Structure 1
Amino acid sequence: MTMNPPTEPDGRLTAFGNQLIEVHLWLREELARLREDVYAHPERPRELRAHCLTFCSAVTKHHSGEDEGAFPALAEQFPELRPVLDELARDHRQVADIMRELQELLGDLEADPERVRADLDGLAALLESHFVYEERRLISALNALDAPGWRAAAPAFLSRGQMG
């Protein structure tokens, strides 16, 4: 699916860094919804698992897009960011491990709701820390990034999937 990049009211393209913040806000909202579901309805593991799989898929798509597209482009144009990009890529692997564990846990119809909540709370804390660090360290570079191919269609890490 091709998505037109967001534009400002005057028709200018929204800077890539600003788009990243928008995607992070959306992911934060979706995670909050998932956490609310887990706390309010632990007796519905199948529905929670489906919601978790959808959320985890969105995060995986976002992080894969960063690892495969954004980070190499940033490293090429801003080599001084390589240590930051390496650290963020390590975070991505850690997030993927936690999401995999959470999905397995939710696949067990007898899963302990407290353990599910604890894993989800851990994921939320890690993602929030990751998003804040990434935004603080990369927004300026993303806003200055010259990536003409991204202007025709938003790259994967800047798109929001359909959830809900």
Structure 2
Amino acid sequence: MAPQDRDRAVALSLQLAQAHQKLRSQLASLRTGPSRDLTVHCVAFCAAVTAHHEGEDAGMFAELLRLRPDLAGTVDKLVEDHGLISWILSRIAAATSDDAVSGELDGLTAILESHFAYEERAISAALDAGTPDTGWSAKVFDFN
């Protein structure tokens, strides 16, 4: 692998951690901000998480599996997490009160933190090993 490709791969793992940190910060702001209209404010956050995970599933994970079939178990676990997170996001979208949203955010916070930490450990190492960006990074990092 050429040095610039290796540098780009390392940069991708850092971008993954930064994307997760941005989502963590947005979630923290939701949880500590004013409770008025919490349901409305969750819409943008839920859309960002959904776009990020859809980009991972269709782009980054597909590329990782193409190059590293040994990561199938890891990717399966992460995709399973995405399903659970999607279910929680649908419960937030269906919530009829800020109290209900707040309760769902507690569960979402716990699973997202665990999911992000696991993904950063397991997937960043593979990215750092030289997974090329075949265009998937825009789908994973541009979720706003």
Instruction: Sort the TM-score into its range (normalised by shorter chain).
Output: 0.7 to 0.9
Corresponding position of 2:141: 158
1:31 and 2:27 correspond: yes
Alignment: residue pair count:
137
Corresponding position of 1:18: 14
1:127 and 2:112 correspond: yes
**In structure 1, C-alpha distance between the alignment counterparts of 2:138 and 2:16, rounded to whole Å:** 11
**In structure 2, C-alpha distance between the alignment counterparts of 1:59 and 1:112, rounded to whole Å:** 19
User: Once superposed, which parts of structure 1, at least 4 consecutive aligned residues long, lie more than 4 Å away?
Assistant: none
Point out the structure with the larger helix share: 2
Specify every segment of 5 or more residues in structure 2 that has no aligned partner in the other structure, as ranges.
1-6
Quote how far apart the aligned CAs of 1:73 are.
0.5
Quote how far apart the aligned CAs of 1:147 are.
2.2
Cα displacement string for residues 9-37 of structure 1 (whole angstroms, at most 9, x for unaligned residues): xxx64621111000001000000001112
Cα displacement string for residues 70-91 of structure 1 (whole angstroms, at most 9, x for unaligned residues): 0010011111110010010010
- Normalised to the residue count of structure 1, the TM-score between the two structures is 0.76
Amino acid across the alignment from 1:17: S
RMSD: 1.8
**In structure 2, C-alpha distance between the alignment counterparts of 1:148 and 1:60, rounded to whole Å:** 21
Pick aligned residue for 1:71 from 49, 57, 61: 61
Specify every segment of 5 or more residues in structure 1 that has no aligned partner in the other structure, as ranges.
1-11
Structure number with bigger Rg: 1
Cα displacement string for residues 112-162 of structure 1 (whole angstroms, at most 9, x for unaligned residues): 61x332211100000000000101111011123342533xx842112252x
Secondary structure of the 2:134 match is helix
Correspondence 1:1-164 to 2 at 5 A: 13=8, 15-37=11-33, 40-41=34-35, 44-45=36-37, 48-105=38-95, 108=96, 111=97, 113=99, 115-150=100-135, 154-161=137-144
